[in-house]
Amino acid sequence: MRFQCQPLCTACCDQQGFVWLTEDDILRIAAHLGLTPAAFEERYVYRTKRLRRLRVPRHAQCSFLVKDGDRGGCGIHTVKPLQCRAFPFWPELIDNKREWQKTAKFCPGIERGDLINITLARETAAEMKAAHPNLYQG
């Protein structure tokens, strides 16, 4: 398996689906934006009893995705959610060849660059699993 994120690519941010948040993600991003956690939640977070995720705005997949040619990208890159930082080393992808190949259809970084360090990739996947137990039950 090879992976190297490609400059100026934001394809993963444009996929349908949710960006799940940890409590730590919320605190970190709110502080970065100069908002209280409550104000950040009110504006950007959808919370249920078991899960929290970014709200999906109209006409986009993520409120923080900036589309501006060479200057586009994640508007909160340095503090982005664990789920975004961990991609594509998610538990459901790294040990499932079919899902990995399916992901390669939209992620041009897959099968580019150096061979991945599978130990580090699995550590990242384990971090995801531990941070989102309700997503990875069973």
Per CB under 6 A, residues contacting ligand SF4 are 5-6, 9-13, 19, 62, 64-65, 74, 76, 80-81, 84, 87-88, 107-109
Nearer to ligand SF4, 34 or 138 (CB): 34
Other residues' Cβ atoms within 10 Å of the Cβ of residue 91: 18
Nearer to ligand SF4, 49 or 118 (CB): 118
* Pairwise CA distance, residues 16 & 61, whole Å: 7
Nearer to ligand SF4, 28 or 80 (CB): 80
- 91 touches 123 (CB < 8 A): no
CB of 65 to ligand SF4, least distance (A): 4
**CA-closest candidate to residue 65, choices 53, 73, 77, 54:** 73
Nearer to ligand SF4, 49 or 67 (CB): 67
CB of 14 to ligand SF4, least distance (A): 8
Tell me the HSE value of 59 on the side-chain side, using a 13 A CA sphere.
Answer: 2
